[in-house]
Structure formats: C-alpha cells, structure tokens
Amino acid sequence: QVQLQESGPGLVKPSQTLSLTCTVSGGSISSGSYYWSWIRQPAGKGLEWIGRIYVYGGTNYSPSLKSRVTISIDTSKNQFSLKLNSVTAADTAIYFCARGWHTSGWYYFDYWGQGTLVTVSS
C-alpha cells in the first residue's frame, strides 16, 4: 500500500521560503508510471493544484504560482519536495502531496498524504 507523508516547518515568516518534503513508502518514486504533485487548501476553502514532477525531471506548475515555485525529486530518498518563495499570509494553507496516476492520458490523484498545515506569520 502506497503511503505519502508530508514534513516541514509549520510556521514560516512573510517573505521567506516555504519548504516541504513528501516521503513516499510502499512503492518506488522512480516508477515511470506516475507524476508527483503538490496541492494546497486554505482553511475552510477549496483545493488548488500547485504543480507536479516526473521522475525523469519534467515539471509543470500552476501559472499563478510559477514564478515562486520549485518542485524537485530525490530518488535515492524516495522523496519529492516543494519550495515556495516570497510567501505571504495568502499562502497559509494545508499542503498535500499526492500521486498522479494516469489512464487514457489523463492524470488523477489516487494517493494523498495526510496534509500539513503551514502558517505564514511573523
């Protein structure tokens, strides 16, 4: 059974960089069958896709965040990571990592981490 677990600071100061890691267990992140995504959810609100990475290095980002986001992958640790710079209070949210599984060329999120709350505050 695949499991994903987010980790990282729960509090980040404004203008600094938010850094989170997702550790994948029960399966290899190096499998070419999947993409690995970050998704966030402000308290009481809906879901926002941030971006994704493929094990062979390809990335796609949401245009609204693209200038501030970097997603990377470490196959030796079976982890992928999110960096979001120049954060503001609007970046306060629960951050989820998720596995993108495809069928017919479309990707859906079939496994999710439990989520981690990141608060941006001084």
**Contacts to other proteins by CB under 8 A:** 46-49, 60-64, 96, 98, 103-104, 106-110, 112-115
Q: How far is the CB of 32 from other proteins (least distance, A)?
A: 19
> 8 or 48: whose CB is closer to other proteins?
48
Q: Is the four-CA dihedral 85, 86, 91, 92 of positive or negative sign? A: positive
**Closer residue to other proteins, CB minimum distance, 83 or 107:** 107
Least distance between other proteins and beta carbon 39 (Å): 8
**What secondary structure does DSSP assign to 3-72, as a single string?**
EEEEES-SEE-TTS-EEEEEEEESS-TT-TTEEEEEEEE-TTS--EEEEEEETTS-EEE-TTTTTTEEEE
Return the number of the residue (15 or 31) whose C-beta is nearest other proteins: 31
Q: Closest distance between other proteins and the C-beta of residue 62, in Å? A: 4
User: What is the amino acid identity at position 6?
Assistant: E
d(CA 28, CA 34): 10
Shortest distance, position 76 Cβ to other proteins, whole Å: 26
